[in-house]
Amino acid sequence: MSVPPNGHVPLPWPQWAYVPGATGEPDADYPTLDRAKALVPSAFRGYVPARHPALRYGLTLNDRGYFWEAQEVLEAVWAAAPQGGRERILLRACIYTANANLRLRMQKPHSAARLFGEALAELRVLSSRKAASGGDGFVESFPIPALSALLQAKLGRPQLSKADWVALSAIVRSQ
**Dist. CA 158–CA 59, nearest whole Å:** 27
**Dist. CA 53–CA 49, nearest whole Å:** 9
Q: What pLDDT, on a 0 to 100 scale, did the predictor assign at position 10?
A: 87
Q: Residue 35 — pLDDT band, cuts 50, 70, 90?
A: very high
CA angle 19, 22, 23 (to 5 degrees): 150
pLDDT tens readout for residues 4-23 = 444 456 899 999 999 998 86
Q: Which of 62, 64, 82 is nearest to 72 (CA)?
A: 62
Average pLDDT of the segment spanning 22-37: 89
Domain 30-37+46-171 has CATH 1.10.3450.10: yes
Global pTM? 0.91
Q: What pLDDT, on a 0 to 100 scale, did the predictor assign at position 43?
A: 97
**CB-count burial class (<10 Å; 0-12, 13-18, 19+) for 54:** buried
pLDDT tens readout for residues 112-150 = 999 999 999 999 999 988 776 556 899 999 999 999 999
Average pLDDT of the segment spanning 89-112: 98
Q: Say which DSSP state 170 is in.
A: G
Q: What pLDDT, on a 0 to 100 scale, did the predictor assign at position 73?
A: 98
Domain boundaries, the chain: 30-37+46-171
Percent residues over pLDDT 70 in the chain: 89
Fill in the amino acid letter for 40.
V
Q: What pLDDT, on a 0 to 100 scale, did the predictor assign at position 1?
A: 40
Residue 118 main-chain phi, psi, to 5 deg: -65, -40
Q: What pLDDT, on a 0 to 100 scale, did the predictor assign at position 136?
A: 82
Percent residues over pLDDT 90 in the chain: 79
The answer, yes or no, to whether residue 51 has pLDDT greater than 60, is yes
